[in-house]
Amino acid sequence: MSRARDNVVTIDPATEINRIFAVIRQLFSVTKAEILSKNRYKHIAHARHLAAYFLRAVLQLSYPAIGRILGNRDHTTAMHSVKRISRMIEYDTCVQREVAEIATLLAHNALQLQTLPGHARCVLHVTHCSTPPTALLQRIQT
């Protein structure tokens, strides 16, 4: 008889952290150094907020741990980032699409997805999102 714990898949936190950074770097055309920097340009800060959100959502990391990962920031800065994205998801369709695409890419091992036939990557910027969420997800899944 199989036990439930035999079916548990363990996640290596370091690998997942790197995957989250890789997906965000790829979608937002920012470097890891820019995400970790003190730079407050809107597109870089937004990418950093999304990184914090996914570090919390995927790995359930503590806010102090997220702050350390994101360039030795205070835990309250990490809390602000996660809350900001959580609030934006409620009303901003662009952020909803960004979160949906990042989640889908993480779920499907993002780094191989861009080579799939029929995969049309949506370029995501803070000020421009023109693809409806359902169409975006359909393009990612095909």
Chain centroid to Cα 72, Å, comes to: 19
How does pLDDT run across 56-103, given as a tens digit for each residue? 999 999 999 999 999 999 999 999 999 999 999 999 999 999 999 999
Query: Residue 121 and residue 137: Cα distance in Å, rounded?
Result: 10
Return the pLDDT at 109: 66
With beta carbons less than 8 A apart as the criterion, state whether 54 and 69 touch.
Answer: no
Residue 69, Cβ density class (10 Å: 0-12 exposed, 13-18 middle, ≥19 buried): buried
Query: Residue 22 and residue 3: Cα distance in Å, rounded?
Result: 34
Rounded to the nearest 5 degrees, what angle is found at the Cα of 102, between the Cα atoms of 99 and 108? 135
Return the pLDDT at 39: 94
How does pLDDT run across 8-62, given as a tens digit for each residue? 556 678 899 999 999 999 999 999 999 999 999 999 999 999 999 999 999 999 9
- Kind plus residue range of the DSSP H or E element containing 6: none
CATH of domain 10-141: 1.10.1750.10
* In the chain, domain spans: 10-141
Token pair in block for residue 88: 């934006």
